[in-house]
Amino acid sequence: MSYGAGSTYSGGKLVTDTLTLGPNDVSVLSGFIFGCSLDTEYHNSDAGIMGFGAVWFSFFVQVSRLVGPREKKKWFPPEVGQFKINVDGGISRHGDKGAVAAVCRDETGKYIGASAVVYQGQNDPASLEAIACNEALSLALDLQLTKIKIASDCLEVIINLNNKVPCRYVMVLKEIEYRSSLFQVASFSHEFRESNGDAHSLVKAVVSLPAGRYTWLLGTPEITYIPVN
């Protein structure tokens, strides 16, 4: 299946339904086929929800006319008694290095600690996101935490981790599974980039540093701005 300027997508489950837009049901678009597929041209990244209606212009055009930019999300707290660690991975501008970052806060949003690792030659995005989840466990052990929630903006990794899906970074996932057993509570969830700002900022700042592990257990990182609360 192709869409737009020649992009190719894999097939998936399709259902017909009605799309309602707006807080007061300002527009009802009938006869849509919804589905989810993989963009096979971009590392099999999730292409998200697509829809095609019985009209000449695309679903995306219709929605963009009725829905504004997505509201910026704030940091979401964990459950009472837990600590939350947001993680992210990134690649250097020249593609010769990769980095992962983890930022921990308590249930009130207070900064607890952060860590990052820079890898020479590692430039696979999904693998870095998986390694970032593993680094969150290392940070939690450094901080002597027992109940943690780890959040990543990479849906692919979270799905593969929680469902034990075989993939190219399966050995990282197996290590995460084993190390998670060292905690009373260790859960993994997906969040959008908008609520993952701390880890995203940190990984962008560290990726230009020499290869190695960096920790900030007594204060926030000096190389980027991360608020204490």
The dihedrals phi and psi of 87, each to the nearest 5 degrees, come to -130, 160
> How confident is the model at residue 13, as a pLDDT?
53
Do 129 and 88 form a contact (C-beta atoms < 8 A)? yes
> How confident is the model at residue 193, as a pLDDT?
86
**Residues 6 or more apart from 105 whose CB is under 8 A from it?**
75, 77, 83, 84, 86, 111, 112
Domain boundaries, the chain: 2-66, 83-216
Do 180 and 186 form a contact (C-beta atoms < 8 A)? yes
Provide the b/e sequence for 182-198 (b: ≥16 CB within 10 Å).
eeeebbbeebeeeebbb
First to last CA, the chain: 47
> How confident is the model at residue 138, as a pLDDT?
98
**E strands within the chain?**
2-3, 7-8, 14-21, 27-39, 45-52, 83-91, 97-105, 111-120, 147-152, 185-190, 212-216
Pick from 182, 178, 123, 173: nearest CA to 152: 173
Kindly give the confidence (pLDDT) of every residue in the chain, 229 residues in length, as a single tens digit, with 9 standing for 90 and above.
Answer: 344 444 444 555 555 555 555 444 444 555 555 555 544 444 444 444 444 444 434 444 444 444 444 445 588 999 999 999 999 999 999 999 999 999 999 999 999 999 999 999 999 999 999 999 999 999 999 999 999 999 999 999 999 999 999 999 999 999 999 999 999 999 999 999 888 999 999 999 999 999 999 999 999 999 998 999 8
CATH topology of domain 83-216: Nucleotidyltransferase; domain 5 (3.30.420)
Stated pTM of the model? 0.69
> How confident is the model at residue 19, as a pLDDT?
56
